[in-house]
Structure 1
Amino acid sequence: MAKKPQQHRARKRFGQNFLQDEGIIRRIVRSIAPQKGQHLVEIGPGMGALTEIILESAERLDVIELDRDLIPGLKVKFFNAPGFNIHQADALKFDFAELIDDGQPLRVAGNLPYNISTPLIFHLLEQRQNIQDMHFMLQKEVVERLAAAPATNDWGRLGIMAQYLCDVEALFIVPPEAFDPMPKVDSAIVRLTPHKELPYPAKSAECLDNLVRTAFAQRRKTLRNNLKGLVEVSEIEALGIDPQRRPETLSLQEVVALSDCLADRLGKHD
């Protein structure tokens, strides 16, 4: 098993939990299936456990690491790896388009810190035109929300917006003992593949985001109450949707239809 050196202690403020189970690491890389000629990006390489296996197949790998104390170790470990580049940066603020210099889309992977996983996913979804796919290790609950189906407790803003833009696949669970230090929760691997064409294109992305935020602000309330001021009851009924339903019962197609009503009312069309 590849363990981290004793001199680097995981930092709570960076949400660091280092993967150390080589079987899990190789299973993750098999799921990614890096190929020659592809441009891979790893977020949060840590001590390079996943990086090392990715580099067995990848010709080009950019890694983004926030903790500057980890940079020297990564440089030493992979000093002779061709096509390997380190960026000391905050992935939440990083412009991934800067990495593209040959028109090749990015394949993004990483063991994401739990404390920034959701905002980081939204940040990457905004740059999806540059991304072929994403493979992430996340808290199991976050993966369940990303891959949730309508009419379940996990169905909400994260799953709706992710599935609007991507095909989402929950791959497998990773137990706490695969990490050092061990987290208190299970983790899971998820694959996000941006749609080449949106299955249900909304008239306005801004209106879709606004409607989803409002609809799920108070999950127990009905559509009639939650969407008051945004969509009229008559408009909801005209779509064949019962205004007494709760937002978590809506399908993605129904959510988009409601957002289109808002877009028509406001005259906003992308």
Structure 2
Amino acid sequence: MLPSIAQHANQHGIHPLKRYGQNFLFDFSLCEKIVRVSQLKIGANVIEIGPGTAGLTRAILASTPKSLTVIEADYRCVALLAEIKHLYPNLCIIQGDALNWKLSDLTTNDHKIDIISNLPYQIGTTLLIQWLKSTNYINSITVMLQREVVDRICAKPGTKTYGRLSILCQLICDVQKCFDVAPKAFYPPPKVYSSVVRLSPLAVIPEISIIERVELITRTAFGERRKMLRSSLRSLDKNIEDILYSINIDPESRAENLTPTDYLTLANLKLNFLS
């Protein structure tokens, strides 16, 4: 029988450290809610990044996955996780930086994974973009991030929060914002609200080379988002105005006016800059 999440952390002398960006979740009911919205199936193979004091870890294990692999940078938390492993042999603990691990190192195409994490905010977006390029290994991604980042992921064209992250996520996944989480849910409380978002890879996903072109085009367009596309995208092709007309895009539009599909159409063209 395990002690409460907070008691377990106290037994191991674990307190939040700024260098790891730690804000611990001691509310097990909230952890259970995250697992519920993930739609995790019995017998799933799961990966969790930054388990910390293992509140979410416990909730995932209670859902009877086939395996749960956690990657934790803080050595103090590894001993705590090892105690949980005595009760749940299907828990695999890796101590290290999640940025150094590829999904291909952790699974195979034959055993796709579900990712469920309260992500360290300083690396959350970087990890998510990495995963978007490895969706052949993924069933679903359910993560908690800053609310402003989740709002960007889910943003629609023409809104202030719509941008490169919105486009990449929506071209590759079906995205669903699940719920917001107030700062008081954490210890210590962060200065911002958080949100949980679920991403499910689409049935048909553009090739990596096309996604990389989308990244380049959106970086160019949103790098000068106040300019009309005929100006902001001129570096892609000197005939960009005619090209935009040919695919029914108004050259006087701005970056936030194009849909993800519009950017995909552009990425599939043989622009001089991309050839």
TM range (shorter): over 0.9
Choose from 25, 45, 48 the match for 1:19. Answer: 25
Q: How does 1:60-71 map onto structure 2 within 5 Å?
A: 60-71=67-78
TM-score by length of 1: 0.92
Equivalenced residue count is 266
Deviation of residue 148 (structure 1)?
Answer: 0.6
Summarize the Cα distance change of 1:75–1:203 in structure 2 as closer, same or farther, 3 Å threshold.
closer
The equivalent residue for 1:241 is 249
**Share of identical aligned residues, percent?**
36
Q: Which amino acid aligns with 2:27?
A: D
Q: How does 1:198-237 map onto structure 2 within 5 Å?
A: 198=205, 204-231=210-237, 232-237=240-245
1:2 correspondence with 2:2: no
Structure 1 runs of 4+ aligned residues shifted over 6 Å read 200-203
Q: Which amino acid aligns with 1:3?
A: A
Q: Which amino acid aligns with 1:169?
A: Q
Deviation of residue 260 (structure 1)?
Answer: 2.4
Alpha-carbon distance in 2 for matches of 1:134, 1:91: 15
* Residues 213, 274 of structure 2: 8 Å contact kept: no
1:177 correspondence with 2:184: yes
Alpha-carbon distance in 2 for matches of 1:47, 1:251: 41
Q: How does 1:114-133 map onto structure 2 within 5 Å?
A: 114-133=121-140
The equivalent residue for 1:256 is 264
Choose from 99, 102, 114 the match for 1:107. Answer: 114
Q: Structure 1: which 5+ runs fail to align? A: none
Structure 2 residue matching 1:78: 3-state secondary structure: helix
Q: How does 1:116-155 map onto structure 2 within 5 Å?
A: 116-155=123-162
Structure 2 residue matching 1:79: 3-state secondary structure: helix
Structure 2 residue matching 1:216: 3-state secondary structure: helix
Deviates more, 1:75-84 or 1:42-51: 75-84
Structure 1 residue matching 2:99: 3-state secondary structure: coil
Summarize the Cα distance change of 1:202–1:130 in structure 2 as closer, same or farther, 3 Å threshold.
closer
Q: Which amino acid aligns with 1:30?
A: R
* Residues 109, 137 of structure 2: 8 Å contact kept: no
The equivalent residue for 2:163 is 156
Deviation of residue 19 (structure 1)?
Answer: 0.9
The equivalent residue for 2:56 is 50
Choose from 193, 196, 205 the match for 1:189. Answer: 196
The equivalent residue for 1:78 is 85
Deviation of residue 101 (structure 1)?
Answer: 5.5
Structure 1 residue matching 2:184: 3-state secondary structure: helix
Alpha-carbon distance in 2 for matches of 1:161, 1:193: 13
Alpha-carbon distance in 2 for matches of 1:165, 1:174: 25
Choose from 98, 104, 112 the match for 1:97. Answer: 104
Structure 2 residue matching 1:55: 3-state secondary structure: helix
Q: Which amino acid aligns with 2:212?
A: E
* Residues 202, 256 of structure 1: 8 Å contact kept: no
Q: Structure 2: which 5+ runs fail to align? A: none
Alpha-carbon distance in 1 for matches of 2:56, 2:211: 35
**RMSD over aligned Cα, in angstroms?**
1.9
Q: Which amino acid aligns with 1:243?
A: P
Summarize the Cα distance change of 1:201–1:251 in structure 2 as closer, same or farther, 3 Å threshold.
farther
Deviation of residue 69 (structure 1)?
Answer: 1.9
- Deviations along 1:97-137, whole A, 9 cap, x unmatched? 22225821000110011111111111111221101100000
Q: Of Structure 1 and Structure 2, which has the larger fraction of its residues in helix?
A: 2
Q: Which amino acid aligns with 2:248?
A: G
Q: How does 1:31-46 map onto structure 2 within 5 Å?
A: 31-46=37-52
* Residues 23, 188 of structure 2: 8 Å contact kept: yes
TM-score by length of 2: 0.91
* Residues 235, 273 of structure 2: 8 Å contact kept: no
